[in-house]
Amino acid sequence: MIATDSTDHSIELARKLIGDKGAITFGGYTTDDDVALRFEALAMDVAVPLSLNLSSDVMINQSAAFSDFHATGGNPAANASLCDQAFVAPRFVVVQSRRHVLSD
């Protein structure tokens, strides 16, 4: 946890940190739909999988569970693959966003 001045500050700090250093996954929590959309835009911009408002375990390596990709291939920390490097060219980037479905 890092204390920030505001939601805007938190989002920009996350964007800068992930853009500069990378991340394998990004967890966001909000009750505001606009903030959720901003988290999704951030994730797409810096190529990191987003887990939004999850209420149980977060699979850090969710992409590799269903494919040969480890992370997205699109940021400094997410540049590995579990398959032949000839298959994973720089043009491939996989970014996901997932949310829990809440039932009444």
pLDDT digits 0-9 by tens, 47-80: 888 888 877 776 665 555 555 555 666 777 766 6
Give the integer Cα–Cα distance in Å for 95 and 86. Answer: 20
DSSP E strands in the chain: the ranges are 26-28, 50-52, 69-70, 80-81, 97-99
Q: Calculate ∠ Cα 4-14-68, nearest 5°.
A: 150
Burial of 20 (0-12, 13-18, 19+ CB in 10 A): exposed
Give the residue, 86 or 77, on which the prediction is more confident: 77
Residue position matching structure tokens 């001045």: 5
Asked if residues 57 and 77 have their Cβ atoms less than 8 Å apart, the reply is: no
